[in-house]
């Protein structure tokens, strides 16, 4: 943790590329500015024509490059200008770029990369491709959001958004659906009968939610960042999902349109994350922070482990139940720890808390005194859930809540095969089995079995005896298949060491330059 003073407010400009280039030059090793002292004239650049005689009219601007030329330039390792990037994004949105050309450009970027200034320009161009959300000026300091790169059992957003609202923030959270082995926030919320993620028109509906509740969790419409939606689909079928500049631009473009004061990105690493190694996740985190600075957006990136599932439940309705436990001031300690740390960082970055520790304490208090749960109940009612159901969910016992949400037809428990201490519960094979059982989708639009999931009955560090139930699977199928049962049993890793306290998944927080220097 670096510094505890109140951070100042970020610069609000949107023309980030030029400002970012100045920042780059200032921080480049060996770069020095020419000093200008009082009473002395600033040096005149060689090509300055302000003091010369009449000049001929300037040359007209060059014609925009055609797409094949842009693709060739990046393919050969060249650098795309801000105008080049704008032309490419414009062609993507207006349909003049063919699918093959979009794929070729994405692959060229994946193989050749982009420097930070190119990534800033791409992010801004994507953000400018659709509607911009505008809020009352008096809200600026309060506007915050969080994004996660995706994990197993990650229900942080369901808890964090209302907790931040209870702390005085405005949280216009635009979330996504699950694809592959990770569950989507929108899918989890839609397991609550009546919950509506589409708010149209966005500006009017979202502003109403922020005024009356303080937070909303909605889906991305085609009016918001349409270019990103097109590129995202193309990346998924062109093996370019893991490109750092493309990931960065996709994440931050959706946040730029929200006109935020501060953003925290939860970058997962480990066996069930996009980046298995922490060093690779750190590279993405640093890129996100730097590009955010270039756009005038204060971004912090948290590195968090994703080897074990987060919390004790995986699956849509089971994760909603666990989020409600956390909103009760209870629930798994790793989930609460992550919620309070991420929330504390956001309160500090936005200037609403004097130090990160103060922010953590405020978020924890909102969980313990019921004010966060109250905001969650109000958000449910404002986003389509029957008021009586919203009230029953937020005031009921865990057993009562389970009866109010979709649940699977059967349950099956797995037993510990031998004595030992739980070292690890591998999240990836667990998620893959649940995906096979219908909890995940393999293609967009596929229906989900919302009650399918799993409950961990043990904790990392706990000593077990042979035959102890360690996992309860909720399924609609008659029974687990032998390969599924074997995969789940292999996910449990036992050792001979003494019982221990499981470490926090929170590993590191990377701060924006102006804050890190405080």
Residues recognised as catalytic: 145-148, 185, 235, 250, 254-255
Q: Read off φ and ψ for residue 115, nearest 5 degrees.
A: -80, 175
Q: In what order do the strands lie in the sheet with 410-415?
A: 313-314, 453-456, 469-475, 410-415
The label of the residue with tokens 């100045």 reads 22
What does DSSP assign to residue 149?
-
Contact between 221 and 206 under an 8 Å Cβ cutoff? The reply is: no
Tokens for 288, please give them.
């996100």
Tokens of 410: 């059967």
Token output for 233: 């689909």
Give whole-number Cα distances, 354 to 70, 146, 345, 448, in Å: 47, 20, 11, 43
Cα separation of 113 and 105, whole Å? Answer: 11
Rounded CA-CA distance 226/497 in Å is: 53
Report d(CA 406, CA 439) in Å as an integer: 12
**Could you give the 3-state DSSP secondary structure of residue 483?**
helix
* Contact indicator for 312, 456 with CB cutoff of 8 Å: yes
Write phi, then psi, for 144 (nearest 5 degrees). Answer: -140, 165
Tell me if 429 sits within 8 A of 490, measured CB to CB: yes
Helix (H) or strand (E) holding 219, with range, is strand 215-219
- Whether 455 and 313 have beta carbons less than 8 Å apart is answered as yes
- CA 315/CA 482 separation, integer angstroms: 21
Residue 181 carries which DSSP code?
T
Q: Provide the 3-class DSSP secondary structure of residue 218.
A: strand
Q: Which of 89, 121, 120 is nearest to 106 (CA)?
A: 89
User: Are the C-beta atoms of residues 221 and 202 closer than 8 Å to each other?
Assistant: yes
Rounded (to 5) percent helix, strand, coil in the chain:
45, 15, 40
The residue among 158, 165, 216, 220 whose CA lies nearest residue 183 is 158
Q: Where are the beta strands (DSSP E) in 137-199?
A: 144-148, 171-175
Q: Decide if 477 contacts 437 (C-beta within 8 A).
A: yes
């Amino acid at each position: 943790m670096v510094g505890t003073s109140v951070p100042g407010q970020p610069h609000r400009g949107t023309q980030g590329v030029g400002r970012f280039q100045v920042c780059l030059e200032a921080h480049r090793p060996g770069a020095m500015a020419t000093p200008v002292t009082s009473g002395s004239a600033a040096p005149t650049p060689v090509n300055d024509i302000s003091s010369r005689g009449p000049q001929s009219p300037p040359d007209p601007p060059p014609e925009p490059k055609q797409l094949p030329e842009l693709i060739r330039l990046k393919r050969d390792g060249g650098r795309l200008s801000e105008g080049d990037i704008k032309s490419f994004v414009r062609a993507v949105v207006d349909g003049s770029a063919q699918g093959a050309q979009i794929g070729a450009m994405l692959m060229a970027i994946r193989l050749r990369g982009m420097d930070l200034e190119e990534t800033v320009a791409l992010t801004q161009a994507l953000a400018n491709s659709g509607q911009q959300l505008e809020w009352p000026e008096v809200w600026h300091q309060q506007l915050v959001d969080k994004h996660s790169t995706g994990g197993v059992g990650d229900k942080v957003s369901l808890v964090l958004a209302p907790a931040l609202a209870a702390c005085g923030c405005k949280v216009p959270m635009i979330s996504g659906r699950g694809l592959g082995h990770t569950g989507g926030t929108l899918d989890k919320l839609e397991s609550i009968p009546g919950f509506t993620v589409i708010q149209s028109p966005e500006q009017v509906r979202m502003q109403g939610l922020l005024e009356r509740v303080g937070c909303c969790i909605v889906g991305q419409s085609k009016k918001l960042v349409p270019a990103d939606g097109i590129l995202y689909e193309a990346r998924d079928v062109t093996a370019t999902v893991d490109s750092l500049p493309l990931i960065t631009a996709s994440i931050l473009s959706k946040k730029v349109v929200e006109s935020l004061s501060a953003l925290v990105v939860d970058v997962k690493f480990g066996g069930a994350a996009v980046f298995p190694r922490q060093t690779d996740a750190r590279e993405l985190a640093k890129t996100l922070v730097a590009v955010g600075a270039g756009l005038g957006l204060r971004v912090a990136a948290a590195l968090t482990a994703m080897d074990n599932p987060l919390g004790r439940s995986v699956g849509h309705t089971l994760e909603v139940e666990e989020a409600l436990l956390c909103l009760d001031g209870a629930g798994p300690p790793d989930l609460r720890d992550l919620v309070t740390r991420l929330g504390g960082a956001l309160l500090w970055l936005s200037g609403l808390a004097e130090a990160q520790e103060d922010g953590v304490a405020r978020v924890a208090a909102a969980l313990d005194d019921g004010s966060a749960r109250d905001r969650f109940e109000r958000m449910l009612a404002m986003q389509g859930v029957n008021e009586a159901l919203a009230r029953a969910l937020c005031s009921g016992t865990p057993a009562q809540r389970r009866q109010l949400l979709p649940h699977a037809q059967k349950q099956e428990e797995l037993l510990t095969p031998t004595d030992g201490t739980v070292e690890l519960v591998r999240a990836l094979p667990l998620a893959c089995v649940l995906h096979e059982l219908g909890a995940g989708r393999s293609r967009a639009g596929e229906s989900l079995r919302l009650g399918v999931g799993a409950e961990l009955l043990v904790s990392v560090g706990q000593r077990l005896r042979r035959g102890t139930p360690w996992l309860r699977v909720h399924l609609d199928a008659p029974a687990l298949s032998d390969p599924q049962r074997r995969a789940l049993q292999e996910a449990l890793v036992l050792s001979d060491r003494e019982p221990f306290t499981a470490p926090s998944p929170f590993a590191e927080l990377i701060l924006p330059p102006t804050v890190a220097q405080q």
